[in-house]
Each structure stands twice: as structure tokens, then as C-alpha cells.
Structure 1
Amino acid sequence: MTGKVLVAYGTTNGSTAEIAEAVAAVLRKEGFTAEALPAGDVARVTPYDAVVAGGGIYAGRWQKDARRFLRRHGKDLARRPLWLFSSGPLDASAGERDIPPVPGLKRAMDRLDARGHITFGGRLQEGAKGAIARMILKNGKGGDFRDFARIEEWAREVAEELAAEKV
């Protein structure tokens, strides 16, 4: 094992990308070779010993590039340690309780034997893409609800599990 970890993400407005970068930074700090890449840019997962994949939640579904990543690389993802994260709630709920994965993601988790999933708060700011996002912002419901201390804590837990497996 080389200790290489891929953190792939599907994002529309950049919030999930920033979470993925934070996860990769913690993994590097913990001694792994980790890189965060947009899910649509990943040609192969075989060079990696483990994968963390994340996607924003939009209208009850994981972001499309993240969904496609799991489908496209499913066979190889099922053969290595895999953790998943979602970002999306535009309120404090993700920090107050465990929010389960959306149904389509839950099915993928079962199929791929994912080690775990966590939902983090999201961010929606002026200039966001999409009619629904603009409507949410117009109604004053935007903001940044990400908790980077919690994100980093979760990434350290992933690193501990990987270290125990000698990945």
C-alpha cells in the first residue's frame, strides 16, 4: 500500500470542493498522500488505496457528477476502503443531529460497501448557479453552515481507520 487517498467531489457552487480540500489537507497532515479532484475529472481510481467521495445535495439527490463517479467507478470503489460525505443543509441541522444519506446514495453505499457517511452543512452565497439557488437566496435562506472543525475531526477519524489498516 502506498497510502494514496483520492478525495473526489461533485459540486455546483464550490462549497463541496472546499470541504473536499479540507479533508485532503487533514489526510496529508496525518501522513497520507491525498489529493482532491472534481469527480468528473477522475479517469481511474485504481492508483489509489482508498477513496473519500463527496457530493452536494440538491433537491434530495446527490450532485450529478458525484453520482456518475460512483456509477462509473463502482467496481473499483467496491475493492477499496470508501467513505462518503454529503453537504447541503442550509441551516444548523447537520451539526445538531446525524442526517442520513439521501435514498439514492444509501443504495450506492450498500452496493459499494462504503465504510461510512456523514452530512455536513452547506453554503449558498450570492452568485450561486441555478434558479432554485437564486430563489433560496432571494428568500434570505442562504449562508455558510459548514463546520470546518467537525469536517476536520471526521477526516482525522478516516485517517485513523486507514492507519489501522496500514493503507
Structure 2
Amino acid sequence: MTRKVLVAYGTTNGSTARIAETVADVLRRDGLTVDALPARSVASVSAYDAVVVGGGLYAGRWHKDARRFVRRHGQALAERPLWLFSSGPLDASAGERDIPPVPGVKKAMTRLDAREHITFGGCLQEGAKGWVAGMILRSGKGGDFRDFTAIEKWAGRVAAEVQGGG
């Protein structure tokens, strides 16, 4: 029986969605059935054997849709294998060292017994929504710091764990 995985994400400008879709693509390639959906659109996780939740980081907090998702589905998430990821640093730091989860994500990890959390570099490019995003871009601090090789490698580890029954 093919295991079914949900990759849910909270994103404002699409950068985290692209990471989530990359994770989903790797999981599919490795033989899993996968739905990648905006966290706010998920009504139930009961149809899934495992869940991956990702959120963009904004001012030291996970995207509100990801936070609400883990609160709303907390009991069900605690009953199945769960992995979390964050995207956000607008520099190379995520590729240079392990960046621990922000406090709210750390609490969710403990409460839900998540298997793992990883932080990937973020992406902020011209046309991004929001006043703060505009300020960051005007200061020259934008760019694309996502490392898709690292994202695919991590997703491959998740796929192996899910396939192994975990």
C-alpha cells in the first residue's frame, strides 16, 4: 500500500510554496502519494499517513497559516509522523549551519512530537507584498537564498523514513 503524505505550507509571496512543492516532488519520485496544499485550505489530515508542514519566517515567527494549521490539527498531527521546515534567512546562513527553530515552532515540535525541523534559506524578490518586504528590498537585502539541492536531500530522508514505516 502506498503511503499518503500531506505537505502543508504557509507562504506570503510563494517562496515557501516552491520549497513545499519541491519536497512533494521528491516524495512522489520516491513512490509516495502526496498532496501539497496551502495550510489554510486543509480541512482534515485524517487521510494522510504522514505530514510535512512548512512556514516562512517573518519577524521571528512562523507564517500565521502554518501556526494556525498546527494548532487546529494538533491532535491528529501528534498521532502521525510529522516533519517541519522553515524558510526565511535572507543570507547564506541556512547553508552554513543548522538554524534552530524559532520559539513557537520549537514548542509545536515538542507538543506534537515532530521528527525533525530544518530551516532553509528564504527568498524575497521584487514585487513581494508587504511594507516590511519593500523596506528589505529597498535596503538591498533581498535575493533568493533557497538551496534546492539541500531541500531535495532533506526530502529524500523524509521519504525514506515514511517508506520505512515511520
TM-score (norm 2): 0.98
Indicate if the aligned counterparts of 2:2 and 2:31 stay in contact, CA closer than 8 A.
Answer: no
Indicate if the aligned counterparts of 1:2 and 1:49 stay in contact, CA closer than 8 A.
Answer: no
User: Within 5 A, what are the aligned runs for 1:78-93?
Assistant: 78-93=78-93
Q: Secondary structure at the match of 1:132?
A: helix
Q: Spell out structure 1 runs of 4+ moving beyond 3 A.
A: none
Q: 5+ residue gaps in structure 1?
A: none
Whether 2:67 is the aligned partner of 1:72: answer: no
Deviation at 1:2, TM superposition (A): 4.2
Q: Which residue of 1 aligns with 2:142?
A: 142
1:79-137 CA distances to partner (integer Å, 9 max, x unpaired)? 00000000000000000000000001100100000000000000000111111110000
Q: Which residue of 2 aligns with 1:17?
A: 17
Q: Secondary structure at the match of 1:51?
A: strand
Whether 2:155 is the aligned partner of 1:152: answer: no
Q: Distance in 2 between matches of 1:140 and 1:43?
A: 39
1:51-82 CA distances to partner (integer Å, 9 max, x unpaired)? 00000000000000000000000000000000
Q: Distance in 2 between matches of 1:164 and 1:4?
A: 13
Deviation at 1:35, TM superposition (A): 1.4
Q: Secondary structure at the match of 2:164?
A: helix
Q: Which residue of 2 aligns with 1:115?
A: 115
Q: Secondary structure at the match of 1:16?
A: helix
The residue type equivalent to 1:154 in the other structure is W
Q: 5+ residue gaps in structure 2?
A: none
The residue type equivalent to 1:8 in the other structure is A
Q: Which residue of 1 aligns with 2:126?
A: 126
Q: Distance in 1 between matches of 2:5 and 2:162?
A: 10
Q: Distance in 1 between matches of 2:100 and 2:129?
A: 26
Indicate if the aligned counterparts of 1:56 and 1:88 stay in contact, CA closer than 8 A.
Answer: yes
Indicate if the aligned counterparts of 1:88 and 1:121 stay in contact, CA closer than 8 A.
Answer: yes
Deviation at 1:158, TM superposition (A): 0.3
The residue type equivalent to 1:130 in the other structure is G
Q: State the aligned residue count.
A: 166
Identity %: 75
Q: Which residue of 2 aligns with 1:3?
A: 3
Q: Distance in 2 between matches of 1:38 and 1:161?
A: 23
Report the CA distance shift for 1:46/1:2 in structure 2 as closer, same or farther (over 3 A): farther
Q: Distance in 1 between matches of 2:2 and 2:32?
A: 8
